[in-house]
Amino acid sequence: MTTTVQPVPHQENRKKREKYYVTTLKRLFSNKLAIAGLVIVVLQVLMAIFAPLITPYDPVAQNLMKSELPVFSEGHWLGTDNYGRDVWSRIVYGARISLVVGVVAVSLGLIGGVTLGLLGGYYRKLDSPIMRIVDLLFSFPGILLAMLIIAILGTSLINVAIAISIWSIPTCARIVRGSVLSVKEKEYIMAMRSMGASDLRIMVKHILPNITAPIIVFATMRMATAILSTAALSFLGLGAQPPTPEWGAMISQGQDFMWSAPHLTIVPGIAIMLTVFAFNVLGDGLRDALDPNMNID
Amino acid sequence: MKAMEQSPPPSESKVLLELNGVRKYFPIKGGVLKRVQGNVKAVESISLKVFEGESLGVVGESGCGKSTLGRTILGLEELTDGKIIFNDQEIQDLKKKEKKKFVKEMQMIFQDPYASLNPRQRVGHALDEVFRMHTKLPADERRMAVVDLLKEVGLKEESYDRYPHEFSGGQRQRIGIARAIALNPQFIICDEAVSALDVSVQAQVLKLLKTLQRKYNLSYLFISHDLGVVQYFCDRVLVMYLGNAVEMGTVKDIFKHPLHPYTQALLSAIPRPSVHGRKERIRLTGDMPNPADPPSGCPFHTRCPIAQDVCVTDKPAWVEHRENHFAACHFA
């Protein structure tokens, strides 16, 4: 036959279909804290993207004539540090580093965690071994594990991302495994098996799309932890090395000037706090909006 | 309800599926070492034949193993013992790859139309996936096939791009039926296929199933707890109790002349409007025994109104009392 049936778009259907996403967004936007979180996150992303356009100085350019200027100084509204570097520029470029490290760490963690969780939840035989490995990872305190990994790999921001991702894997794997266990028993999975669908197809096409909500929430909350951990590791000298404008490293360097120039520790501290707060409340809002008990049927 | 046109007597048709002493035990594991401590005997030595183009009803109370029987035939549960012969070929030991051929021939319609469709998958894509897995058709031909299927089960072409939650229960069950007949199977297991539907919708869906049966010469294994529906829909009936077959025969024989006391009790529980007042109802006392620890002898003796000493000690044989009318009772 030569005739082909073209897909028929139906305005009315599309509206209905979009209703689920619209109601989810509405829920999210009815939560004032979540909006605040979202605004801060968006601002930060914009800041990171347009960093060169909104900063008047090179974040690593020294100007010893103008060192330790306080906040609201002329030309340096957040002041300068002991080398005369503009704090605002460093904060903006620091946002870039935090977000990139956060995204990389969370993505790697998700890849590992979702894979392990899917396998463990789906195959009964793999469940025990995988979960015991996960328990093993869990038994280390997070920072200690990260330090261990960095001690092996060496200090650099990429290694910080890897360390944080490895430390995210067990939590993610547990969340995914739990969700898989509940979805796996649904009749539509049984139906796919009776159709002769391969395990991979069932896992990727039928289980994964039905457990996106907890994964999204996990990823958002984990961004906050990842950014905080990056700062913590850099503060300890295990992450970003000077003169990289990383927030944790900035606090660490500012310590020596606590009394003469307190803004060197306070400003990056506030930046970290705001970011972590923003991702946390956004994650909370998303969790409420994506409530799995919500009736999507 | 008047029984629909009955198929030709079984003996004239070809045997499509034969079960030979099929058993399904679920091991109970316990203790520190996870040793097998016992078995839940969900299906206990069932033998039956399903002929081409007929509907075999399977009835019994919940927990009697009828759903497990269906799943075991389909290979969704591993068989413990026995033989499954489909189209003259034993299929119980086939490897996954060889089994794929039979997957096309045997399909299943599920009980809950709300749970048997992936909520995140468009209906068209769900049906398309079946063709994607089992045929090498190009995309445009697959789409045409899906649209044909939708029309076949009485749905509009527009349904293609919709999600399951936009449909009613009856419509969803039609989608489930479309998925089951997509590959032109010979045999379909309907696991309580209409139990979740309203009575008016039930009738429509049953009618659709009948139409498809005539058109494609399908055989159904119709698992149900609703005797009225079975009487209306099926040609023959298998009555199960505690994983055991207790009686099997044509609808007419079973409903007019039940031999086994359990069947008699089941039938007396159907509410029937009558001008002569209600017939005496046979009430069974007690619960169904634990299938992990079934009673000795006849599995029904603990609740049977006519049980004697022999029932406690000897398991009754599966005897053909009349032509095509089997029962397992010492006093049938």
d(CA B172, CA B163): 10
The CA R_g of chain A, rounded to the nearest whole Å, is: 23
Per-residue model confidence (pLDDT) at position A157: 87
Would an 8 Å CB–CB cutoff place A194 in contact with chain B?
yes
Q: Choose the closest CB to B133 out of A188, A190, A197.
A: A197
- B118 to chain A: which residues are within 8 Å by CB? 188, 192, 206, 209-210
* Phi, psi torsion values for A94, nearest 5 degrees: -65, -35
A67-101, pLDDT tens digit by residue?
788 888 788 888 888 888 889 999 999 999 999 99
Query: Are A210 and B120 an interchain contact pair (Cβ–Cβ within 8 Å)?
Result: yes
Per-residue model confidence (pLDDT) at position B289: 84
The answer to whether the beta carbons of residues A87 and A79 sit under 8 Å apart is: yes
d(CA B205, CA B199): 10
A159-190, pLDDT tens digit by residue?
999 999 998 999 999 999 999 999 998 889 98
- Domains along the sequence of chain B with CATH: 13-115+122-234 (3.40.50.300)
Give SS3 for B83: strand
d(CA B253, CA B3): 13
Q: What is the count of residue pairs from A and B with beta carbons less than 8 Å apart?
A: 87
Residues 6+ apart with CB under 8 A from A11: none
Give SS3 for B313: helix
Nearest to residue A34, comparing CAs of A206, A221, A202, A283?
A283
Per-residue model confidence (pLDDT) at position B34: 76
* Residue A225, pLDDT above cutoff 70: yes
Token pair recorded at residue B5: 């046109």
* Phi, psi torsion values for A156, nearest 5 degrees: -170, 165
CA B57 to chain centre: 6
- Domains along the sequence of chain A with CATH: 31-64+72-289 (1.10.3720.10)
Query: Are A194 and B103 an interchain contact pair (Cβ–Cβ within 8 Å)?
Result: yes
B187-191 and B15-30 strand pairing: unpaired
**Placement of tokens 């990429």 in the chain:** A158
Interface ipTM above 0.85: no
State which residue of chain B sits closest to A6, comparing Cα positions: B140
Nearest to residue B217, comparing CAs of B191, B249, B188, B174?
B188
In chain A, the percentage of residues whose pLDDT exceeds 90 is: 46
Q: Nearest CA to CA, how far is B101 from chain A (Å)?
A: 10
d(CA A37, CA B287): 57
Q: Choose the closest CB to A5 out of B99, B119, B143.
A: B143
Query: Are B130 and A195 an interchain contact pair (Cβ–Cβ within 8 Å)?
Result: yes
Per-residue model confidence (pLDDT) at position A79: 84
Q: Nearest CA to CA, how far is B97 from chain A (Å)?
A: 10
B219-223 and B55-59 strand pairing: parallel
Output the furthest CA–CA distance in chain B (Å, rounded).
68
Give SS3 for B89: strand
Q: Nearest CA to CA, how far is A69 from chain B (Å)?
A: 57
The answer to whether the beta carbons of residues B57 and B233 sit under 8 Å apart is: yes
Query: Are A13 and B112 an interchain contact pair (Cβ–Cβ within 8 Å)?
Result: no
Per-residue model confidence (pLDDT) at position B278: 61
Mean pLDDT, rounded, of chain A = 86
- B195 to chain A: which residues are within 8 Å by CB? none
Give the burial string for A262-281 (b: 16+ CB within 10 Å, else e): ebbbebbbebbebbbebbbb
Banded model confidence at residue A293, pLDDT cuts 50, 70, 90: low
Residues 6+ apart with CB under 8 A from B177: B109, B153, B193, B205, B208, B209, B212
> Which residue ranges in chain B fall short of pLDDT 70?
1-12, 277-279
Per-residue model confidence (pLDDT) at position A297: 37
Query: Are B144 and A5 an interchain contact pair (Cβ–Cβ within 8 Å)?
Result: yes
State which residue of chain A sits closest to B97, comparing Cα positions: A196
Q: Nearest CA to CA, how far is B100 from chain A (Å)?
A: 6
The answer to whether the beta carbons of residues A127 and A251 sit under 8 Å apart is: no
State which residue of chain A sits closest to B134, comparing Cα positions: A196
Check residue B197 and report its DSSP letter.
Answer: S
**Placement of tokens 């509204």 in the chain:** A77
SS3 sequence of chain A: CCCCCCCCCCHHHHHHHHHHHHHHHHHHHCCHHHHHHHHHHHHHHHHHHCHHHHCCCCCCCCCHHHCCCCCCECCECCCECCCCCEHHHHHHHHHHHHHHHHHHHHHHHHHHHHHHHHHHHHCHHHHHHHHHHHHHHHCCCHHHHHHHHHHHHCCCHHHHHHHHHHHHHHHHHHHHHHHHHHHHCCHHHHHHHHCCCCHHHHHHHHHHHHHHHHHHHHHHHHHHHHHHHHHHHHHCCCCCCCCCCCHHHHHHHHHHHCCCCCHHHHHHHHHHHHHHHHHHHHHHHHHHHCCCCCCCC
- A9 to chain B: which residues are within 8 Å by CB? 161
Q: Choose the closest CB to B115 out of A16, A187, A194.
A: A187
Nearest to residue A92, comparing CAs of A282, A293, A275?
A275
Q: Choose the closest CB to A196 out of B133, B144, B176.
A: B133
State which residue of chain B sits closest to A201, comparing Cα positions: B133
- B158 to chain A: which residues are within 8 Å by CB? 8, 10, 13
Per-residue model confidence (pLDDT) at position B1: 45
Task: For the beta carbon of residue B112, count every other beta carbon within 10 angstroms.
Answer: 18
Would an 8 Å CB–CB cutoff place A201 in contact with chain B?
yes
d(CA A165, CA A150): 12
Query: Are A190 and B110 an interchain contact pair (Cβ–Cβ within 8 Å)?
Result: yes
Check residue B288 and report its DSSP letter.
Answer: P
Question: Which strand (E) or helix (H) includes residue B58?
Answer: strand B55-59
d(CA A54, CA B244): 79
Task: For the beta carbon of residue A95, count every other beta carbon within 10 angstroms.
Answer: 23
Query: Are B107 and A296 an interchain contact pair (Cβ–Cβ within 8 Å)?
Result: no
Would an 8 Å CB–CB cutoff place A196 in contact with chain B?
yes
**Following DSSP, what letter does each residue of B63-81 receive, concatenated?**
TSSHHHHHHHHHTSS---E
A2-61, pLDDT tens digit by residue?
444 444 444 455 555 566 677 778 888 888 889 999 999 999 999 999 988 888 888 888
Q: Which residues pair with A76 in a beta bridge?
A: A73
Token pair recorded at residue A268: 């990056």
Residues 6+ apart with CB under 8 A from A247: A91, A94, A97, A98, A231, A234, A268, A271, A272
d(CA B165, CA B171): 10
Q: How far is CA A223 from CA A102, A114, B280, in A?
A: 5, 16, 70
A252-271, pLDDT tens digit by residue?
998 888 888 888 999 999 99
Nearest to residue B105, comparing CAs of B94, B116, B115, B119?
B94
B267-304, pLDDT tens digit by residue?
888 777 777 766 677 778 777 888 888 888 888 888 88
Banded model confidence at residue A146, pLDDT cuts 50, 70, 90: confident
The residue type found at B27 is P
Question: To 5 degrees, how large is the angle CA A188–CA A194–CA A197?
Answer: 85
Q: How far is CA B110 from CA A294, B101, B181, B188, in A?
A: 24, 21, 13, 10
- A201 to chain B: which residues are within 8 Å by CB? 133
